[in-house]
Amino acid sequence: MGNKMIIKAFIMALAQLGDQRFRRVLGLGIVLTFALLVASYAGLLWLVHQLVGEEATLPILGEVRWLNDLFNLSSLILMIVLSIFLMVPVASAITSMFLDEVAQAVEDRHYPGLAPVPGVPFTEALRDTVNFLGVLIGANVLALVLYIFFAPVALFIFWGLNGFLLGREYFTLAAMRRIGRDGAKELRARHRGTIWLAGTLMAIPLSVPLVNLLIPILGAATFTHIFHMLEKRG
């Protein structure tokens, strides 16, 4: 029953992908994600220059002019590697800041007649986004160790971890619009298995370049449907 519900919710979300509000949130998410990655790399470069300086001096060897270039190249490679693992979690977190707009678009089309909900204040949405971003990045950075030691199953660890985090956060954000934070936590606790499975199915396409950029939007819409289905079931 849970699998059929998840598939139905995803198909409904996919069918609405051309919605103007969906496209707007997708564009904002991509732009803000790349801006954050560029800013992070600029900050890393600044730190390298502060530590190394324009010309490094080593014992015996004296001034080593190429060392700074080596650190710059190393920092670039490091950011490219990290961006592979972190870009999608960052995009997911940023998209969560605009989830209210996606959820409202879903409800306008599929659940007409619902009482209007007050918009989420920007400061509250930003706070939730920063918290979610911190958890996502922290968990994925720590998971890099697991990826190294358990390389054959690294992809499954990535799917399971991000599936749990995405499902937990997106369902909570979708549910709390209607039943509040406490009600969302209670409903999530009763259906944690279904929510984790749905989150994992969202996380699997994160491994596919370009397609993964659509997942935050589809995830937000899918979990809005899942919330309404689970609330109806009780």
Nearest to 137 by CA among 83, 75, 67, 205: 83
What pLDDT, on the 0 to 100 scale, is given for residue 126? 73
For the residues 181-197, what does the mean pLDDT come to?
91
- Tell me the torsion sign for CA atoms 179, 183, 95, 158: negative
Record the pTM: 0.76
Report the share of the chain in percent with pLDDT over 90: 17
What whole-number distance in Å separates Cα of residue 30 and Cα of residue 106? 21
What pLDDT, on the 0 to 100 scale, is given for residue 187? 92
Q: What is the DSSP annotation of 90-109?
A: HHHHHHHTTHHHHHHHHHHH
Per-domain boundaries in the chain: 2-35+86-233
Nearest to 221 by CA among 88, 98, 86, 93: 98
Number of alpha carbons in the 13 Å side-chain half-sphere of residue 80: 6
Task: Give pLDDT tens digits for 50-93.
Answer: 665 555 444 444 444 544 554 555 555 665 555 555 665 666 66
What pLDDT, on the 0 to 100 scale, is given for residue 193? 92
